[in-house]
Amino acid sequence: MIGNPRITDYIRSLEPDLDPFLMEIERQAKAERVPIIRKETAAFLKTLVAGMRPNSILEIGTAVGYSALLMASVMGEGCRITTIEKYEKRIPKARENFQRAGREKEITLLEGDAGEILGRLPSGSFDFIFLDGAKGQYIHWLDDALRCLRSGGMLVSDNVFQEGDIIQSRFAIERRNRTIHSRMREYLFALKHREELETSIVPIGDGVTISVKRK
């Protein structure tokens, strides 16, 4: 958690209750230790989607479908979501959740490795991309993600602070996490220094970046 925990708790306390079905998914995900977007980050994501009104959304990292359904709840009529998930055990649950929510015609779930699938998607085909998959792969997915994003489109990346580890020296990080640490630092540097991007790093939840692809 980034920032003052009391402020975070207060922000969360202001959030109205979600749709009962989304609340059910949230409770079950927490009980089963399935990682889902944090409450304050979820509100931020919904606001971005509601404000931008994209026609096409790409999500990398479906899990059980919670974030996709959050975005679907505020997207405009005619918008479609494509979401990618590799972990086979979570895919049936995500499909079930989309069907139970009545969103199976608006959300397309692609099964497999995101790096491979991204390479096959048409250039400039998405208005909004939400990146919430394997954190160590963000830097490897960036080129294809930007190719798939139209000019003026928005790329949102979650969990970029790695529970605060991002500000630590690599030698203060557990050895097994050092590769992810160095790749995330490389990713953040790339977002801030690529000429085609305008990027803001927002200290909410576990850190979120918002990048706009310049026209």
pLDDT for res 178: 66
131 falls in which pLDDT band (50, 70, 90)? very high
Both tokens of 172, joined, read: 């203060």
**171 has pLDDT over 60:** no
In whole angstroms, give the CA distance from residue 151 to residue 130.
16
4 falls in which pLDDT band (50, 70, 90)? confident
- Identify the CATH number of the domain in which residue 63 sits: 3.40.50.150
Contacts of 19 (CB under 8 A, 6+ apart): 73
Among 29-43, 52-66, 158-172, which is the least confidently predicted range? 158-172
**7 has pLDDT over 90:** no
pLDDT for res 31: 94
* Domain that residue 190 falls in: 5-213
Determine whether 190 is exposed, middle or buried from the number of CB atoms within 10 Å of its CB (0-12, 13-18, 19+): middle
Domains of the chain: total: 1
pLDDT for res 93: 96
Residues of the chain with pLDDT > 70, as a percent, come to: 91
Answer with the residue of higher pLDDT: 122 or 174: 122
Do 96 and 68 touch, CB atoms closer than 8 A? no
169 falls in which pLDDT band (50, 70, 90)? low
